[in-house]
Copies of this chain bind each other. A is one copy, B any other.
Amino acid sequence: MDETIISAARSRLYSGVISDVLDSLGHWQHAMAPNVRPLDESLTLVGRARTGLYARVYHIDPAVNPYELEIKLIDSLEPDDVAVLACPPGNQVAPWGELLSTAARARKAAGAVTDGLVRDVRFIRAMGFPVFAGAIGPLDSKGRGSVVSIDVPIECGGVAVHPGDWIFGDVDGVCVIPGAIAEKVIQLSLDKVDKETTVRDELAAGELLATVFARHGIL
């Protein structure tokens, strides 16, 4: 996607409008569960999904580097990529923290999303790196979970994510946009934002919702 449109998406869009446009195109299952929250509510994340799938483990194999695939994923991130890490149900482990954030930012990645936990929140917030997580907690993945596949379809926060899908995350949550329609969705969203601004102005001036809805058909 063109850098101009990515940049417009980051500065002018919000996830409600992205969600409405996806609905209007028949894509209803695009919003991650509401427990997936930004560490920093002021940041907007827009980027291409690079996926990783976690599985639980209950031992440490001294012959194996438990971080091998995770390291491979992070070291191969390209500008505007978003690491999306799916954890098994009931997960209490943090697959993401400040050292991975630092490494991902050095690759110019756009951010990270996981339905698992994140740790080192203070450092990550200080970096201004957009990270979205299912919860916050200190437990490392070593001996508890491991990335078993990268760059494969996953389900994260209850939503299917394919490599190359686009991620839009902000204070309202995280939307997954199928790669094939991502540019169209962002263009339509930019159009809808202008319409919502008109509606807001009319409502703030005291017009009734019924009148404004009849005029514009959005709410």
Contact = CB atoms under 8 A, between A and B. Distances in A.
Interface stretch (A46-54, A139-147, A177-185): A139-147
Given A31-B137, A138-B15, A213-B71, A120 B23 contact: no
A65 interface: yes
A97 B141 CA distance: 35
Nearest to A170: B122
B18 A138 contact: yes
Contacts of A72: 210
Nearest to A35: B135
A92 interface: yes
Given A75-B210, A92-B31, A210-B75, A173 B99 contact: no
Contact of A120 (B71, B105, B172): B172
Interface of A, helix, strand, loop or mixed by DSSP:
mixed
A199 interface: yes
A34 B120 contact: no
Contact of A97 (B16, B121, B136): B16
A102 B207 CA distance: 10
A156 B194 CA distance: 34
Interface of A: 14-16, 18-20, 23, 28, 31, 33-35, 37, 41, 65, 67, 71-72, 74-75, 92, 94, 97-100, 102-103, 105-106, 117, 119-123, 135-140, 142-144, 170-173, 175, 196, 199-200, 203-210, 212-213, 219
The 3 nearest A-B residue pairs measured at CB: A34-B135, A19-B138, A15-B138
